[in-house]
Structure 1
Amino acid sequence: MNKTSKIWLGLTLSLVVVMCIVPASADLSANIADFTEGGHLETDFNVNFMAEWWYLNGKATLVSSEGEENDIGFFVTLVHQESPIIVSLNGTQRTHLVTFYGLYFDNGTTTFNYTETYIPQTTVGNYIALHTPYVDYVYPDGLKRFNGSALQGYNLNYTYDGRAMDLIFRPEAEKTIDHAEHPLNFTTYEYSYGTINGSILLDGKRYNVSDAEGYMDHMIPIGSRPWPMEMHGWSWFDVTTENYQVVAYAVRGLDDGYDDYSYKHLSLLDKHNGTVLAEYSADEITITETDWINASEFNRKRPVKVVFSTPDLNVTVNAEKVIDFKYPHLANMGFVNFMAFQPDDAVIQYNGSIEVGSAFYEYFVSDMGVITPPA
């Protein structure tokens, strides 16, 4: 663990390890400025393309003032992309701003919304706090905002089409850091467990949210070209049970196709204090994907069931409720992301003990992955 230095995003990334996950040394109660919280530009990393997003998910029981209850899962993502290739017709460099959210209802239905716009990059600081020890992202319509820090909590105020989320996420685990250089060069700062409180407005009725379970991360892929072009895709999930939190990253290179993963990493944490109980990488992990579905409308396929196995840890996730997110783009820079929520029965088996809980699971396939045959 000590051989991995802290990453401060105000500086150029210089890690030489292929991947690691480490608890941050700063205690959440200490008043220490953490400049990994805020936003950045591609020039901070001396690259041609950078994306950056803040992602929050949660499993919650909504309770109305009349006592009506609804169980939901949800996620919200706020994104910006920076590159000299993102320009207007007159050659002005622009920032690409994106927000999207998904809701999974207990009756099996889902809802999804995606919103995007472009602004001159010279004005990006008006909407995203850059190089700060906190995040403050405000979409230009003023109706979607994510701001705060681990020390103070993160506030989400998100309104679209008669739905509104007014929530605060408070981490209850130390920050961990994931980093890989190949096949996708990315860094992710994670608060793998915390509580969510506030309210959600659905169909004109406001519901309270109390001590819901949540996960948050801040991810930054960088490179010489748009990040979906660097890989076939990924498999990612987080699983929450009574005592454990599992975070899994696996990335398929363009030569891997659907059959293999060039990068694999799996971490088991105590969800209450963020202690890394065990972590595994590369050949220590066997990934088994079954019950494939041919998503012909997207020219893709996806597994329903995925199992990450190690000698003493097995994690099983099923894609029960799925939102299909297709992002079309020119020159094969797009992707399809199958984003699933499993409210119950995701399984963690560790050292002979078995716990079940909830999971959020993404299976991502890029346009480049579809058109590039495996070597």
Structure 2
Amino acid sequence: MPKPRLDLAAQFLFENSLFLIGGAIAALVWANVDLESYHQFLHTSLIPGSHEVGYSLLHVVNDGLMAVFFAMAAKEVWESLLPGGPLSKWKTAATPLMATLGGVVMPTFVYITGCLIVGQWDTLGRGWAVPCATDIAFSYLIARIVFGAGHPAIAFLLLLAIADDAAGLLILAVAYPQEALQPQYLLGAVGAVAWGLLLRRLGVRSFWVYLLGPGVLSWLSFHYAGIHAALGLVPIIPTLPHAAHDPGLFAEDEQDHDTLSEFARWWKNPVELILGLFGLVNAGVVFSNTGPATWLVLSGLLIGKPLGITLFTFLGEKLFHLERPDGMTYGHIVTLGMVAAIGFTVALFVSTAAFNEPGAIQDSAKMGALASFAAAIIAIPLGRALKVKSAAAPLETSE
């Protein structure tokens, strides 16, 4: 029996991250039409009568709700490390991991070099990590258009993006503390992990118990330690009961009923709504604030990403005798590098962490993150120019 049109429309909205796009577009329009009312909206307290900054809509979304988004990212990273997971064996993971390293090092190099050239290191230097990000959802969507659903480049990109997520979580935690670090509070996170492991040993299956118990303790620990609170749920993800083996990258037919899988299934659609709110409260950039940070972020993404991914894949082959997957030429690698240059969600988040004072500099960095959608526009004709064939066509063999 075919699904009703309403169900199909809702499925299309959720599976193509259209809430995030819609939120971002609404924010851009609103900020450029009436910036004052937009800022009033951001700083609306969600607790009547309270004027505490931490209760504003902006902070609740960025520090609270986004914790679930990063927990979902941590879930993909954790499962990929389990037996059978794509990052569990060096032979499978080595080349994408090498490419990931290039996709972090080269954008950083391009950004820092640009900063020094324009002589604005003191004001813009903190944004070096913004172009390191790869947006998994949008990159995956564009990759399916460019390469076809069954192409080995899809798995390569997802491996790269998962490893990039892991690097991004580490960079956020280490490079961008919200306040002066107070590491003693991290004992709370250690206690949260121990609590989660005890719950698992006792056979507790509901993911709500893990989120509302160890999860809240870990979040508070990160908050008071000065580490970005949005990462607060990450430590407890490995404590949730999970399958002994990885079910596969973004497995669509996953039938596991373990706690970690149930957590991901329950939160899949709510996270899309959270991302819509994230776009609404973060993407309100005034176009006139486009500045040096915009071009530095864009250069890091559109030049540094594809260059780094291609160069480090080449170095991996020549220096460490790593192998590209069958069916992938350097035309595929270059194109994949451009697809990975879509920073958007994570780049937008890092922009707010790097430049935590609202204003022209933060807005200009955000504009670079938003404009990274240009990578999608470039990747499609680039793939055609480099004679990249979709999976529906006979694949070229490695040279």
TM-score by length of 1: 0.24
Larger radius of gyration between Structure 1 and Structure 2 = 2
TM-score by length of 2: 0.23
